Structure 1
Amino acid sequence: MRLAFMGSPGFSVPALRALVAAGHEVVMVYAQPPRPAGRGQKETPCPVHRAALDLGLPVRTPQRLRNNAAELADFAALNLDVAVVAAYGLILPQAMLDAPRLGCLNIHASLLPRWRGAAPIQAAILAGDAESGITIMQMEAGLDTGPMLLAEALPIGPRMTMPELHDALSEMGARLIPRVLEAIPAPVPQPEAGVTYAPKLTKADARLDWTLPADVLDRRIRALNPWPGTVTDWGGETLRILAAEPGVGEGAPGTILALGAAPLVACGQGALRLTRLQRAGRAAMPSGDFLRGSPMTLGMILG
C-alpha cells in the first residue's frame, strides 16, 4: 500500500520498520519537530525521525496541523491508501483523517475502550490491571473512540515495569499492523461500557505520597520511571526512587524503619524497600552503594 507513517517516540519505531520490511510504500513520515536535548541543548530529532532517515524516507515535522492549510494540502497531494499513526503527538484534523483512501489507522497501547488517552501504558500499571494490549483502530474525531480492527491482549506480570510493558507492546504493535493492512478487517464499534481515560503525565505526578498503601506506591514507582520519575524529599534534598519492592513493617508514613541493604520506609499501609536510588546531580545506584555514602539514618522522615 501507499502510506504515510505518523509517530514520534521510540514506541513507534518498530512499527515503521515493520511496514517497510513488509514492502509497503512509505511515501512520507511525519514526526514531532526536533527539540533541544542534552547538556548542550542541541536540536535533536525524535526517534521516529532518526529511524526514517536511516531508512532513507522523507520526513515532515510540522509544528501544528490545525489551521495549517498548506500542510493539509501537501498531505492530500500524497494520494495515500492509508496513514498509520502511532503516538504521533499532534491531533489530526478531520480533513487529514478523511484524505487517505482507507482513512487513518492508530496503533493504541491498550485494550480499548479501557485507557483512552495519552498515557495508557502507565495507567494500566498504576491501576494494577492484569493485562494490557494493542488495539488497531480506525481514527475519528473523538479521543480514541473509533471502531476497532484488531486487538490482542498481553498479561502484565506482578513486577512488570513501564519500560518492560512499553517494549512488549511496541513489538506487538509492529507485528499486528502489517496483518491489518494485508486484509483490512471489518471495523467493530467500541463497547460503551468500560471506558476509562489515561491523562497526560506531568512532573507533578512524580511526588510520592507516603500516606498511600505500599502496593499503590510500588505500582507508581514501576509505572512512572523513567519519566516523570518518582521522587521524595530527603532532608531538604530531592531523592529519586528508581526501584522498590514490598517489605514488612509499620510506622508513621515516610519513616525509615530499617536500613541494612536497602532503606525500608513505612507507608499508609505496609512498607516499601527502596532498592535503587539517585541523588540530584549524582549517578543512579543500588541502595547498598547509596547508603555507604549518604547520611540516611533510622527514624528519618521522607516526605
Structure 2
Amino acid sequence: MSLRLAFMGTPEFAAASLAEIVGAGHEVVRVYTQPERKRGRGQAARTTPVHQLAEQFGLPVETPESFRDPEVLAGFAALDLDAACVVAYGQILPQEALDAPRLGCLNLHASLLPRWRGAAPIQRALMAGDEMTGVQIMQMEAGLDTGPVLMSEIVPIRPDDTAGTLHDRLMTTGALLWPRTLAALERDSLTAQPQAEEGVTYAKKIRSAEARIDWTRPADQVADQIRGLSPFPGAWFALETAKGEVRVKVHLAEPVSGEGEPGEVLDDTLRVACGRGAVRLKRLQREGKGVMDAEDFARGTAIAPGTRL
C-alpha cells in the first residue's frame, strides 16, 4: 500500500525529504512550495529547490503566496489526502489546513524538541555549545513546533561541526526518517509522545547584529558563534587596511590558550585574545574573496601581532 500525500517544503533541506518519500513509493499528489523569488547578484527569478525536484519527478506544484487564501484551502481539502508532509515550508498553516488530511499534517524539525523550537534550530544549537541535537517528526498543532513527537533520531554535534556540516547530516538523517514514519503511519503503529513542559527554548531567526564577533566573550563562546554562523551569514570582524576598512568573515576557529586585550592578535598564527582565553582563526574570507585556510589568507592579507580587531 501507499499513502496519498501532499508535500510542503522549500529549501534543499526539504528536497532531500521529498526524494525519500517519492522513493518509498507513496503517492504525492501535490507539492506546495514558496513562490519564485529574485535571488543572487543578478536578481534573477529562481524557483525553489523543492520546486525544481518536483518538476523532475513530474509532480504538480503550487506556489501560493498565503495558505490562508480560501481558494488555496479549498483546493487543499479537495485533494482527499491521507496526510501532508511538511519540511521547512516557510508558511504557518491555519487549523483548517491541519485538519484537512485524514491523518493530519506531519512536520520534520531539526532539533530535539522542546529545545530549539522555531526558525533557526541548527544555528542556535551550535551557538549555544550543545553537544547533541537530532531530527524529529511531529504531529502538527497550531502552536509553534508544539505537537507530539512521532519519530526521533539523535545526532551528536562534533567539535568541528559548522552550521553547514551539521545541516547536511541532519538533512540526510531527517529525510531517511520519513519512510519509517510513513510505514508506521500506514500500520497505525505510531505512538505520539507529548513534548516535555520543561526545557523549552526558541530558535529565533539570526539577526544581522549577531554576526559581528564580540571578542569580549569567552573563547569557547566566540568559537561557537563562528561555527554556528558558518557558512551563512558568517561571523565577521572589521580589519583596517591601507585601502580602508574591510569585513572579514571567520568560518572556523578553535579555542586555545592565550591572554591579551579582547580582539588583540597575539601571533602570526592568527591567535586572537578573547574575554577569557583565545581563539585561533582557521578559515577566513575577506569580502569579495573566497574562503581560505588561515595560512593562505595570511599570505594575501597580513595581520600583524598586536593588531586589534
CA contact (8 A) 1:255 1:300 kept: yes
> Could you list the per-position Cα deviations for residues 170-218 of structure 1 after superposition, in whole angstroms to 9, with x for gaps in the alignment?
1111111111111220212111111111111122221110000110111
Aligned partner of 2:88 in structure 1 is 87
Equivalent AA in structure 1 for residue 76 of structure 2: F
CA shift at 1:295, angstroms? 4.3
> Could you list the per-position Cα deviations for residues 109-164 of structure 1 after superposition, in whole angstroms to 9, with x for gaps in the alignment?
11111111111111111122221111110001001001111112111122222122
CA shift at 1:85, angstroms? 0.4
User: Separation in 2 of the partners of 1:277 and 1:168?
Assistant: 23
Query: 3-state SS of the aligned residue for 2:129?
Result: coil
User: Separation in 2 of the partners of 1:186 and 1:29?
Assistant: 27
Aligned partner of 1:246 in structure 2 is 255
Equivalent AA in structure 2 for residue 205 of structure 1: E
**Segment drifting more, 137-146 vs 218-227:** 218-227
- 2:17 aligned with 1:15: yes
Provide the TM-score with structure 1 as the length reference. 0.95
Aligned partner of 1:291 in structure 2 is 298
CA contact (8 A) 2:76 2:97 kept: yes
RMSD: 1.2
Aligned partner of 2:197 in structure 1 is 192
1:155–1:91 distance in 2 versus 1, CA, 3 Å? same
- 2:166 aligned with 1:165: yes
Overall identity of the aligned pairs, in %: 55
Provide the TM-score with structure 2 as the length reference. 0.94
CA shift at 1:18, angstroms? 0.6
Match of 1:232 among 232, 237, 240: 237
- 2:126 aligned with 1:125: yes
CA contact (8 A) 1:29 1:59 kept: yes
Structure 1 residue runs of 4 or more that deviate by more than 4 Å after TM superposition: none
Residues 100-139 of structure 1: pairs in structure 2 closer than 5 A: 100-139=101-140
Aligned partner of 2:46 in structure 1 is 44
- 2:224 aligned with 1:222: no
Equivalent AA in structure 2 for residue 229 of structure 1: G
CA contact (8 A) 2:120 2:205 kept: yes
Gaps of 5+ in 1: none
**Segment drifting more, 120-129 vs 20-29:** 120-129
CA shift at 1:283, angstroms? 2.2
CA shift at 1:248, angstroms? 2.2
User: Separation in 1 of the partners of 2:166 and 2:246?
Assistant: 31
CA contact (8 A) 2:162 2:231 kept: no
Gaps of 5+ in 2: none
Aligned residues: 299
